[in-house]
């Protein structure tokens, strides 16, 4: 998997993940009363290998979608990339430095946001929470003010800066968390499901922020998400993992073409039956609406519409590219499912 690798003599990659592996040891629970008693005395451990020999590299200024199904090992990888967890094997280099060995140095160059958790302090106002981080990271006054100004322009943070963190809505809290992650001007930002649970407007604000800091500051962004819109709007490159292993790495369009080389034709008929077609799979039919999945290599959309229209009068049509959901579904299920 060479995508993203630089040739010799060129600048090093911002992030290099090399043969990264993570095992979690968990207590094995004995069953029944006997098991419960036994648990008191002997703690049997089982090992879950959450990340397996993962390697990829990321160049400066990229926005990369890091995706995969629940339990694939995304958060575990993000935690190792950001120095929160130590790897069982392999290493992560950020700007050439080993994250596990030079954690304190590297952390100054990293921002991390977990959509499910906050690094803000519940007991403080948002602004006070920022001040605390300013002290922790020893951010110079000038830079702190400048960063807050830029963040206000993008996220309108001043409107909410005096609200206690515990009173912030989820969307406001996420805005706060993004600012908090960028206060010390890191060159790399890890975002683990930053749009989870947000409404349309909230998602829009987060996406705008990611685009802007990438454009203005050249921040490298690694984004974990289950949201198709996030990926389509922001990411040119896709890394897919499953069961802790790398499955795909490449430009979004290339990966889509490779693993989901089909489109969907959505047809609204005036009434009645949806005719079958030899080169397209009729996979949905309800009322007057039918959906046909077809391979671009087998038939063109124009031909398909034409041939269906000859059998049944068509009122309206639209064509959908394979969605990220399709891509993920196929990637998870292996090659058998590729139509
Ligand atoms: N602290 C932990 N102790 C034991 N096992 C863990 C721990 N954290 C994660 N795991 C296991 O490691 C695997 C990977 O989990 P991880 O949270 O990295 O997945 P994910 O890709 O982020 O999933 P999701 O999309 O649900 O957030 C899962 O099998 C999970 O149960
Ligand atoms: Mg996760």
Ligand nearest to the CA of 73: 1
Q: How far is the CA of 241 from the centre of ligand 1 (A)?
A: 13
Correct CATH for 15-22+53-251 of 1.10.1060.10, 3.40.50.300, 3.30.70.3040, 3.65.10.10: 3.40.50.300
Of the listed ranges 24-33, 220-229, 239-248, 276-285, the least confidently predicted one is: 24-33
279's tokens: 């080169």
Asked if pLDDT for residue 25 goes beyond 50, the answer is: yes
Q: For ligand 1, what atom is nearest to the CA of residue 244?
A: 14
80 Cβ closer than 6 Å to some ligand 1 atom? no
Pure H helices in the chain: 32-41, 74-81, 103-107, 126-136, 141-155, 170-182, 200-217, 228-234, 252-259, 301-311, 324-333
According to the model, what pLDDT value does residue 253 have? 83
Q: How far is the CA of 195 from the centre of ligand 2 (A)?
A: 13
83 Cβ closer than 6 Å to some ligand 1 atom? no
262-321 shares the fold of 15-22+53-251? no
Ligand nearest to the CA of 71: 1
According to the model, what pLDDT value does residue 2 have? 44
26 Cβ closer than 6 Å to some ligand 1 atom? yes
Distances from the Cα of 1 to the Cαs of 4, 56, 62, 246, in angstroms? 9, 7, 17, 9
User: In the structure, what pLDDT confidence band is assigned to residue 12 with cuts at 50, 70 and 90?
Assistant: confident
Asked if pLDDT for residue 306 goes beyond 90, the answer is: yes
Of the listed ranges 35-49, 56-70, 109-123, the least confidently predicted one is: 35-49
Q: Strands across the sheet with 15-28, in order?
A: 44-58, 15-28, 89-94, 97-98
User: In the structure, what pLDDT confidence band is assigned to residue 30 with cuts at 50, 70 and 90?
Assistant: low
73 Cβ closer than 6 Å to some ligand 1 atom? yes
- CB-based contact 240:248 (threshold 8 Å): yes
| pLDDT tens for each residue of 148-207 | 999 999 899 999 999 999 999 999 999 999 999 999 999 999 999 999 999 998 999 999
> Higher model confidence: residue 192 or residue 37?
192
Separation CA 135–CA 140 (nearest Å): 9
| pLDDT tens for each residue of 274-291 | 999 999 999 999 999 999
Taking alpha carbons only, the member of 154, 151, 155, 172 closest to residue 163 is 172
According to the model, what pLDDT value does residue 228 have? 80
Q: What is the pTM of this model?
A: 0.83
Strand partners, 183: none
User: In the structure, what pLDDT confidence band is assigned to residue 336 with cuts at 50, 70 and 90?
Assistant: very low
Taking alpha carbons only, the member of 272, 270, 294 closest to residue 283 is 294
24 Cβ closer than 6 Å to some ligand 1 atom? yes
How far apart, in Å, do the first and last CA atoms of the chain sit?
25
Distances from the Cα of 285 to the Cαs of 33, 38, 105, 261, 291, in angstroms? 52, 56, 58, 22, 7
72 Cβ closer than 6 Å to some ligand 1 atom? yes
Asked if pLDDT for residue 6 goes beyond 60, the answer is: no
Asked if pLDDT for residue 328 goes beyond 80, the answer is: no
Asked if pLDDT for residue 335 goes beyond 50, the answer is: no
- CB-based contact 103:153 (threshold 8 Å): no
Return the percentage of the chain with pLDDT > 70, whole number.
Answer: 91
Q: How far is the CA of 98 from the centre of ligand 2 (A)?
A: 23
41's tokens: 């005395």
User: In the structure, what pLDDT confidence band is assigned to residue 10 with cuts at 50, 70 and 90?
Assistant: low
**Sequence-distant contacts of 211-215: CB under 8 A, at least 24 apart:** 212/154, 213/154, 213/182, 213/189, 214/61, 214/63
Asked if pLDDT for residue 1 goes beyond 80, the answer is: no
**Probe residue for ligand 1, chosen from 20, 22, 23, 24 as the CB with the greatest number of ligand atoms within 8 Å:** 24
**Probe residue for ligand 1, chosen from 20, 27, 75 as the CB with the greatest number of ligand atoms within 8 Å:** 75
> Higher model confidence: residue 65 or residue 338?
65
- CB-based contact 165:173 (threshold 8 Å): yes
Residues 6+ apart with CB under 8 A from 310: none
Asked if pLDDT for residue 266 goes beyond 70, the answer is: yes
Residue 164 has what DSSP assignment? B
48 Cβ closer than 6 Å to some ligand 1 atom? yes
Q: What is the CATH code of the structural domain delimited by 262-321?
A: 3.30.70
In the chain, where are the structural domains located?
A: 15-22+53-251, 262-321
According to the model, what pLDDT value does residue 212 have? 93
User: In the structure, what pLDDT confidence band is assigned to residue 260 with cuts at 50, 70 and 90?
Assistant: confident
Asked if pLDDT for residue 101 goes beyond 90, the answer is: yes
Indicate which residue's Cα is closest to atom 17 of ligand 1: 75
Average predicted confidence (pLDDT) for the chain = 89
Asked if pLDDT for residue 5 goes beyond 50, the answer is: no
Q: How far is the CA of 88 from the centre of ligand 1 (A)?
A: 15
71 Cβ closer than 6 Å to some ligand 1 atom? yes
């Amino acid at each position: 998997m060479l995508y993203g690798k630089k040739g010799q003599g060129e600048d090093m990659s911002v992030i290099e993940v090399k043969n990264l592996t993570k095992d979690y040891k968990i207590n094995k629970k004995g069953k029944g009363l006997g098991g419960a008693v036994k648990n008191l005395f002997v703690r049997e451990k089982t090992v879950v290998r959450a990340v397996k020999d993962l390697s990829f590299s990321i160049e400066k200024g990229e926005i990369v979608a890091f995706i995969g199904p629940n339990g694939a090992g995304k958060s575990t990888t993000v935690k190792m990339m950001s120095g929160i967890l130590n790897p069982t094997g392999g290493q992560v280099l950020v700007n050439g430095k080993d994250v596990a060995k030079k954690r304190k140095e590297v952390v100054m160059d990293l921002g991390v946001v977990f959509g499910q958790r906050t690094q803000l302090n519940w007991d403080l106002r948002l602004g006070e929470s920022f001040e605390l981080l300013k002290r922790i990271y020893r951010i110079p006054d000038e830079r702190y003010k400048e960063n807050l100004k830029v963040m206000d322009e993008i996220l309108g943070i001043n409107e909410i800066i005096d609200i206690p963190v515990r009173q912030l809505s989820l969307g406001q809290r996420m805005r706060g968390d993004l600012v908090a992650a960028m206060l010390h001007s890191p060159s790399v930002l890890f975002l683990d499901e930053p749009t989870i649970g947000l409404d349309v407007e909230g998602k829009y604000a987060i996406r705008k922020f990611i685009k802007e800091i990438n454009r203005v500051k050249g921040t490298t962004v690694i984004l974990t998400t289950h949201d198709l819109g996030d990926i389509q709007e922001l990411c040119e490159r896709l890394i897919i993992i499953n069961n802790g292993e790398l499955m795909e790495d490449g430009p979004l369009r290339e990966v889509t073409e490779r693993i989901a080389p089909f489109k969907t034709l959505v047809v609204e008929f005036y009434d009645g039956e949806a005719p079958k077609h030899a080169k397209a799979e009729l996979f949905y039919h309800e009322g007057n609406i039918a959906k046909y999945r077809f391979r671009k290599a087998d038939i063109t959309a124009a031909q398909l519409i034409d041939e269906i229209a000859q059998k049944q009068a068509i009122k309206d049509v639209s064509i959908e590219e394979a969605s990220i959901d399709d891509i993920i579904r196929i990637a998870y299920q292996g090659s058998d499912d590729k139509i």
